[in-house]
Chains A and B, each alone.
Chain A
Amino acid sequence: MRFKRHKEESGKRSKSRILRAASKLFVENGFAGTSLSEVAKKIDVNQSLIYHYFSSKEELWQCVKEELIGGYFEANRTSFEVDKGLRYFLEQYFHSGYDYFCRHPDIIRILSWQSLEGELGKLATLRMSDQDMLMQAVMSLKEQGEIRSAQDPFIAILMIRNALRAPFFDDYAAFDQDLEKEKKYVKIAVDCLMRAFAE
């Protein structure tokens, strides 16, 4: 019995070591740019051990993505307050989202790698979706008359989400962690989206 428990625990440990090593390499070099032999080498194990826990490189990649992006999902599951109007909602969304992306540059890279696979098809099954949360908020704000009724909700969501992502996904921004600029950007984005969606 004791022996068995010991084995289970060390199994868990190997699995998480593999995941951690794979995560580092995938984030750095993407799916195509990473090989299982590199993952094995990084933690000094035999490649066959990886196959013991993951049936293929694809499965390992999916697990790494789920771990990374799952965290974002958790962080955004708490729905935002919408009773206090559009401005309050946007401010909450931008402040928490901005902070999250700053603390997790790996997410930005993994999402970008994923977008490159998009056209190749089957690997991009995981979507970083705050879609449901945003849809709920936008619909509720429309009901309150905070967002004008003619506004297409899907387009509104796309605009809000990408306005938040721009400083992280668009090199043109080049804020270089300049706090003043970041603050000013969030202020301008919230202000412009307010005016854009108001009745």
Chain B
Amino acid sequence: MDRRVQGKNTRQEILEAASQVFIEKGYEGASISDIACLKEMNQSLIYHYFDNKRALWEHTKEFLLKEYVEGGIASIDTRHGLRHFLMNFCRYSLEYLVKHPGVTRILTWQRLQDRRNKLGDFKLAEKVGFEKAFLDMQNKGEIRQDLDPHLVTVLIRSFIRAPFFDDFSEIGKDSLRQQLYLETIVGCIEKAVQP
């Protein structure tokens, strides 16, 4: 096999193992040897690709969230009116979080274990660009002018995150409830932000 292809596969394999271990145990609870164990590889192989645990954590986050960011960007569409814009984005985000419960956990681990900001930035949402799109819609007059885009984004995120971060919710497990939930929050947000 081409050595470069093989190298890429190894890196991928390490990242997959690291995702699994970090999701389960968080940053502090995980060790390089746990990760090596999972794929029955030598620890030194991991160090060949990543300088240390901290670097591996960063790359694992990127690896896990790359798909989310790309899909998020693709889900934003401001050309077909407010409802379409909200529906697309909320549906994508909800479906993604249902499919990838590990993402919820990684976000929580990071918040709990990163009191000194050494685990790196988490500028995911900024990368997806919802806030900017919101501003666009405001400029087009489809959203009322008196709303601060950042603060409303925080609010909309809270509705999207609720079924996954709130231990009182069973919505994450029930697809009929999910559909109702999606339609309800989109309807509510639409009423809340339209001029």
Contact = CB atoms under 8 A, between A and B. Distances in A.
B155 A32 contact: no
Contacts, number: 116
Contacts of B110: 171
B73 interface: no
Contacts of B189: 192, 196
B151 A188 contact: yes
Best-surrounded residue of B152, B166, B193 (most CB of chain A within 10 A): B166
B159 interface: yes
A100 to B, nearest CB: 17
B109, B111, B187: residue with the most chain A Cβ atoms closer than 10 Å: B111
Interface in A164-191: 165-167, 169-173, 181, 184-185, 188-189, 191
Contacts of B167: 111, 114-115, 118, 124, 127-128
Nearest to A175: B154
A170 B161 contact: yes
Contacts of B122: 171
By DSSP majority rule, is chain B's interface helix, strand, loop, or mixed?
Answer: helix
Contacts of A30: 26, 112
Interface size class of B (residues with CB under 8 A): 35 or more
30 contacts: A29-B28, A30-B112, A33-B28, A114-B167, A116-B105, A152-B180, A155-B180, A155-B185, A158-B163, A158-B166, A158-B169, A159-B158, A159-B159, A159-B185, A161-B162, A161-B168, A163-B159, A165-B165, A166-B154, A166-B157, A170-B157, A171-B111, A171-B122, A173-B154, A185-B155, A188-B148, A191-B192, A195-B192, A196-B189, A196-B191
Interface of B: 25-26, 28-29, 101, 105, 107-112, 122, 125, 147-148, 151-155, 157-159, 161-163, 165-169, 171, 180-181, 184-185, 187-189, 191-193
